[in-house]
Chains A and B, each alone.
Chain A
Amino acid sequence: MKDLPQTVFVVDDDDAVRDSLRLLLKSAGLSCESYASAPEFLAGYDPSQPGCLVLDVRMPGMSGLDMQQELTLRGATIPVIFITGHGDIPMAVEAMQHGAFDFLQKPFRDQELLDRVQRALARDTEYRARLRHTDRIRERLATLSPREREVLDLVTQGKANKMVAGDLGVSQRTVEIHRAHVMQKMEAGSLAELVRMMMAVAPRT
């Protein structure tokens, strides 16, 4: 699956700051969309669109923090870089505690911003790739028959075919056939790869 182009979303109520950020990102060859308020951004935001967010902490109406919380509620995973004035450091700290990717104090060097933006975009790419990978594993798992799923669970626990046959009350030959189907459907080249796949989709505890 081919990646959609990445976009840097800028949300800042200050026209000059917003426009200058747009130009700076553009000069670095980045694609940028800018919004003057949080509601304006949220109204048109599609979470499947890859990229990162450059967000002003202090905005009238819905603040940057409010918007971050709203995104979390919506299950959006887009990395957020907060930009703040001098007085907003405590707010920035709070934003970091709520999972912001990074924050920058105004005014800043272009390279500081661009480095952070690049890292945030890489994080987004990586995260989306991981998401796609686990999605694919789940899709394959869904094609297994109940018996095949049982065989998969037992072999990934490290049990030999003979033991699996005993546990399920079937012949060793039957287990071998199910196991071959499992490897084929899961597109796994080895038992080790199969184990890694299961770990990737295992619910985190």
Chain B
Amino acid sequence: MRAMGGPSSDVLALLEATFDAAVIMDDRGRITAFNRSAEEMFGYRAADALGRNVSMLMTSADRASHDDHVRRYLAGGEARILGKGRDVRVRHRDGSEFSVFLSVGRIPNTEPPRFVGYLHDTSLRRKALATLEHERQLNRLYLDLAQVMLVATNRAGLVQLVNQRALRVLMVDDAHIMNCNWVESCVAPDDRAVARNAFRALLMSGGDEPQSCEYHVRSSDGEDRFITWRGVALRDANNVATGVMLSGEDITDQRRAENEAHRALERMNNVSRLATMGEMAAGISHELNQPLAAIANYAQACARLLRLPAPDMPEISGALEQISGQALRAGEIIRRIRSLVRNEDVRRELQDINELIREVHTLLASDARVHDGKLELDLSPSLPRVTVDGVQIQQVLMNLVHNAFEAQSTDKVSYRGSGAAYGNGELDEPGRAAGNGATFEVRIATRPTEAGDIEVSVSDLGPGLVGEVEQRIFEPFFTTKPTGTGLGLAISRSIIKAHDARLGYRANEPRGACFFFVLPAQMETPR
């Protein structure tokens, strides 16, 4: 320690012993003492510093005000720094600036007064603080870069942190939301109960597992956005929940797209149904024209025949029968079409398929008697239940069973004279007529498939389907029956299709036809 003009050796020893830089100056700011730590801190040797003004140690910003402070103090004014200390920036000999904590005291019994300044290098502390600030900014950046909304609240539900994404969704700035109640000020009114419950559940949750929930937030312009949230409880060192942290994803647009896609699909289904109906309309008009044309022809022929001197009465009477038959045929076509249209209104319930079959058994058995045949049930016990419109499934079964009996009977009443309801005339085998002892058998069977679903089949021992017939059997208006509308199987197929299943055909073993459909088994929770 070198000193100019007077500090006692005690004082000098004291100054020399501190780690801090110590500088003594006189009333005019001239350095009168400069300890070793000061030499190290500022890069000046004491010999060079002594006698010079302390302003050389200051940054240009502090120089001017320093002299003012000293003057004001000397003039009997306030002592801004004495005994208090403050952070100041100082200047190294090499020009670099750094921060120190400066405390200044007046040396007692000096007149004019002398002052001692202690300078504590705070740049390490500053560095730590800067690192902390940097990390804080980085964290902020992380938060704001996140594509999800991030919101933290305290135990009371007041917002403590909110990222840019969240602010954008809510269309507010953070001044308007910090310390506001999250649920009451940001959640859409209808969803507040949900949000409150989720908040409570989070606070009470024991673990660190994130919890999920979904609710709408309302932006400042009144628009609701649908958000899917994951939240965790924030805990203090004692594991007490101090608040919650929520991360939310705005799925409004995604939901909208999904809904739009769903609606588009529905529209497409409608269009395709309309197209089908349009296709059908052409077919329908053609099909209705057939009986109408026949009726017109028969009636006109009758009128002509009756004008003849000797009318052919059996011919006329036959024609009149045909007229009523054809009118009924037209009516049947219309009835079938109406039932086809009614398909849209499906009422599905969990049903036992075997029970459904047993319910129609009586009705079907009478059909069997009419055809002098036998209806057998081969129902697999304890099948899982199915979700179906029972009445529709029964309609399909009745249709299939009726077809099966017709396929086997050789009903010569038909004017086509063919017995094979599926096949064409060549398939007709005279030997299988009902009258000569053959019995017709139709079998309804249910069985579980390997996938655990349920197959329902109706098989007969008739001629089966051959060639073109097999290809076209499901076409609307395709029929091999003399009085058929060609709609029975088409309608049955559309009913089964509406149940997400497919009505299929396979050859029956050892002979005949087998129509089948597979209904998805319903996953049941035990009751």
Q: Which residues of A approach B to under 8 Å, CB–CB? A: 14-17, 19-21, 23-24, 26-28, 36, 58, 60-61, 83, 85-88, 106-110
Residues of B within 8 A of A14 (CB): 290, 294
B298 within 8 A of A: yes
B291 within 8 A of A: yes
Task: Sort A-B residue pairs by CB-CB distance and give the 4 closest, nearest first.
Answer: A20-B297, A110-B300, A27-B304, A85-B286
Could you mark each residue 300-311 of chain B with 1 if its beta carbon is under 8 Å from any beta carbon of chain A, else 0? 111011001000
Q: Quick check: A110 and B285 within 8 Å, CB to CB? A: no
Give A108 to B290 CA distance when docked, in angstroms.
11
7 contacts between A and B (CB under 8 A): A20-B293, A20-B298, A27-B308, A36-B416, A83-B293, A106-B289, A107-B289
Q: Quick check: A87 and B282 within 8 Å, CB to CB? A: yes
Cβ-closest chain B residue relative to A88:
B286
CB distance from B520 to the nearest CB of A (A): 35
Q: Quick check: B286 and A23 within 8 Å, CB to CB? A: no
Residues of B within 8 A of A26 (CB): 301, 315
Q: A17-B290, A106-B290 are known contacts; what are 20 more A-B pairs with Cβ within 8 Å?
A: A14-B294, A15-B414, A16-B325, A16-B415, A17-B294, A20-B294, A20-B319, A23-B298, A23-B301, A24-B297, A24-B304, A61-B468, A85-B285, A85-B286, A86-B285, A107-B293, A108-B296, A109-B300, A110-B296, A110-B301
Q: How many residues of B are in contact with the other chain, CB < 8 A? A: 33
Set A60, A86, A110: member contacting B286, Cβ < 8 A: A86
Set B291, B297, B325: member contacting A110, Cβ < 8 A: B297
CB distance from A33 to the nearest CB of B (A): 16
Q: Quick check: B322 and A16 within 8 Å, CB to CB? A: yes
B396 within 8 A of A: no
Q: Quick check: A107 and B292 within 8 Å, CB to CB? A: yes
Could you mark each residue 467-499 of chain B with 1 if its beta carbon is under 8 Å from any beta carbon of chain A, else 0? 010001000001000100000000000000000
Residues of A within 8 A of B468 (CB): 60-61
Give A199 to B42 CA distance when docked, in angstroms.
137
CB distance from B428 to the nearest CB of A (A): 14
Residues of A within 8 A of B283 (CB): 87
Residues of A within 8 A of B293 (CB): 17, 20, 83, 106-108
Residues of B within 8 A of A61 (CB): 468
B444 within 8 A of A: no
B457 within 8 A of A: no
B329 within 8 A of A: yes
Residues A58 and B286 in contact in the complex (CB < 8 Å), given A17-B293, A27-B304, A107-B292: yes
Q: Quick check: B301 and A20 within 8 Å, CB to CB? A: yes
Residues A15 and B416 in contact in the complex (CB < 8 Å), given A85-B285, A86-B286: yes
Give A19 to B293 CA distance when docked, in angstroms.
11
Q: Quick check: B305 and A27 within 8 Å, CB to CB? A: yes
Give A151 to B286 CA distance when docked, in angstroms.
63
